[in-house]
């Protein structure tokens, strides 16, 4: 039996729940087989990964910490990790996130393999003035990123917006950057015919960036004319208590905080929603919504979207076709769009059908993974 060509995927933390896009690209490959290397596990709860296809530099204790430090600061690869990598006989190294790309450089060099790096969001958009004062990984990245720009054979971004930021803010060469949007499993996310009347759904981290305070205010403005409206909030984060208090004052009992939910439970919430709304905003440090997997998942479930036209969202939501996009910060327009969809079943259903077709056509996981594998093949055939 002929083995598929193997790809060594590096991700520092394996693997936070929010990084389903990494799993989709890594474990969803068909012509290549991916194996994962990381510094340590992601914070619990995390995505479960096949143990026979991963290795960790730091498995705990003082020795594990020393191994991690030597790898990150000096590019020292432990002998057992290097032996494992050689045994796989990979054809390339693919690092997810810019910072991880700089960490993977010594590994790709030692193995004599081409390096591909994916920028996913804040790793491309955050301004240096804000990143410099943050944790040590960002500082190491800044010191090494010029070398990354020279040595990586290719970069991948999920949107044209992230590509632009990778060029302007990170100094990556435009000619090396390939835009390959994330894809989702359209068989796993699908419409259900019985949504809950008046439900508006928010799914996201409870931080200022995601704009939940804008949504609460928008709903408060239309609640009197639409008494059945109810906001359901999925997610957790440092701002949860403040958002709960704001919702209590503005919406009373018309809002329910569900906390973080498993992926399938999130899908169930999407299938029951009339409208999906996550009005992300731009932050002073440059952080903005780079793509938005949840918008794809909602549209795949036949749910129209309302959001702000920020970052990469206009590339994911077709304004006037699969939902409505308001100018950033225009809460009145946000409220008006919500009210229009809640009151107009024909429009809501038409946009829901259009959203499903939009995702099937442009963001199906298998099609997007095929584009990534085509890039892998081109890089390998280039003779690196």
Q: pLDDT tens digits for the chain (384 residues)?
A: 468 999 999 999 998 877 888 988 899 899 999 999 999 887 777 888 889 999 999 999 999 999 999 999 999 999 999 999 999 999 999 999 999 999 999 999 999 999 999 999 989 998 887 765 556 777 888 899 999 999 999 999 999 999 999 999 999 999 999 999 999 999 999 998 777 788 999 999 999 999 999 999 999 999 998 889 999 999 999 999 999 999 999 999 999 999 999 889 999 999 999 999 999 999 998 899 999 899 999 999 999 999 999 999 999 999 999 999 999 999 999 999 999 999 999 999 999 999 999 999 999 999 999 999 999 999 998 754
CA angle in degrees (0–180, nearest 5) for 261-159-148: 100
What whole-number distance in Å separates Cα of residue 324 and Cα of residue 311?
A: 15
Calculate the alpha carbon distances from 308 to 42, 67, 120, 187 in Å: 31, 44, 19, 28
Domain 199-362 sits in CATH at 3.40.50.2000
What whole-number distance in Å separates Cα of residue 137 and Cα of residue 102?
A: 10
Residue 101, helix vs strand vs coil: helix
Q: Yes or no: say if 312 and 292 are a contact pair by the CB < 8 Å rule.
A: yes
The predicted structure's pLDDT at residue 11: 96
What whole-number distance in Å separates Cα of residue 269 and Cα of residue 251?
A: 20
Q: What CATH superfamily classification does 6-183+364-381 receive?
A: Glycogen Phosphorylase B; (3.40.50.2000)
What whole-number distance in Å separates Cα of residue 280 and Cα of residue 220?
A: 18
In the chain, at which residue ranges do the beta strands (DSSP E only) sit?
Answer: 6-10, 13-14, 33-38, 40-41, 54-56, 92-96, 115-118, 154-157, 177-179, 199-203, 230-234, 255-259, 275-277, 305-308, 323-326
The predicted structure's pLDDT at residue 218: 98
For residue 10, whether the previous peptide bond is cis, meaning omega lies within 30 degrees of 0, is no
What whole-number distance in Å separates Cα of residue 166 and Cα of residue 160?
A: 10
The predicted structure's pLDDT at residue 227: 87
Global confidence as pTM: 0.91
What whole-number distance in Å separates Cα of residue 51 and Cα of residue 40?
A: 13
* DSSP state string for 16-83: BTT-HHHHHHHHT-SSSEEEEEESEEPSSSB----GGGEEES--SHHHHHHHHHHHHHH-PPPHHHHH
Nearest to 247 by CA among 306, 200, 310: 200
The predicted structure's pLDDT at residue 132: 55
Residue 281, helix vs strand vs coil: coil
Domain spans of the chain, in order of start: 6-183+364-381, 199-362
Calculate the alpha carbon distances from 372 to 29, 117, 178, 365, 379 in Å: 9, 12, 9, 11, 11
Length of the chain counted residue by residue: 384
CA angle in degrees (0–180, nearest 5) for 68-103-52: 65
Q: Yes or no: say if 127 and 282 are a contact pair by the CB < 8 Å rule.
A: no
Calculate the alpha carbon distances from 340 to 199, 247, 336, 351 in Å: 14, 22, 6, 12
Nearest to 158 by CA among 35, 296, 327, 284: 296
Residue 129, helix vs strand vs coil: helix
Domains 6-183+364-381 and 199-362 share a fold: yes
């Amino acid at each position: 039996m002929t083995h598929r060509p193997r790809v060594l995927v590096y991700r520092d933390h394996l693997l936070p729940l929010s990084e389903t896009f990494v799993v989709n690209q890594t474990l969803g490959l068909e012509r290549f087989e991916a194996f994962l290397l990381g510094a340590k596990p992601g914070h619990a709860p995390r995505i479960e990964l096949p143990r026979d296809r991963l290795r960790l530099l730091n498995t705990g204790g003082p020795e594990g910490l020393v191994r991690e430090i030597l790898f990150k600061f000096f590019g020292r690869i432990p002998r057992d990790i290097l032996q494992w990598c050689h045994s796989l006989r990979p054809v390339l190294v693919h690092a997810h996130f810019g910072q991880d790309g700089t960490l993977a450089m010594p590994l790709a060099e030692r193995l004599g393999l081409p390096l591909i790096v994916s920028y996913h969001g804040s790793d491309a958009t955050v301004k240096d003035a804000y990143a410099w004062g943050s944790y040590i990984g960002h500082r190491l990245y800044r010191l090494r990123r010029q070398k990354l720009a020279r040595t990586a054979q290719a970069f991948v971004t999920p949107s044209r917006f992230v590509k632009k930021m990778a060029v302007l803010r990170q100094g990556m060469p435009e000619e090396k950057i390939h835009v390959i949007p994330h894809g989702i499993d359209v068989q796993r996310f699908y419409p259900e015919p019985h949504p809950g009347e008046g439900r508006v759904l928010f799914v996201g981290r409870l931080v200022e960036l995601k704009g939940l305070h804008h949504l609460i205010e928008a709903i408060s403005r239309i609640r009197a004319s639409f008494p059945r409206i109810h906001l359901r909030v999925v997610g957790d984060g440092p701002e949860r208590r403040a958002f709960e208090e704001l919702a209590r004052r503005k919406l009373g009992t018309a809002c329910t905080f569900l906390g973080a939910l498993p992926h399938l439970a999130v899908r169930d919430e999407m299938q029951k929603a009339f409208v999906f709304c996550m009005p992300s905003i731009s932050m002073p440090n440059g952080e903005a919504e780079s793509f938005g997997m949840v918008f794809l998942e909602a549209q795949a479930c036949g749910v129209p979207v309302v959001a702000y036209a920020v970052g990469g969202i206009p590339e994911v939501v077709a304004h006037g076709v699969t939902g409505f996009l308001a100018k950033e910060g225009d809460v009145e327009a946000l409220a008006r769009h919500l009210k229009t969809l809640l009151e107009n079943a024909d429009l809501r259903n038409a946009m829901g059908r259009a959203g499903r077709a939009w995702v099937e056509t442009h963001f199906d996981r298998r099609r997007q993974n095929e584009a990534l594998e085509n890039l892998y093949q081109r890089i390998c055939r280039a003779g690196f």
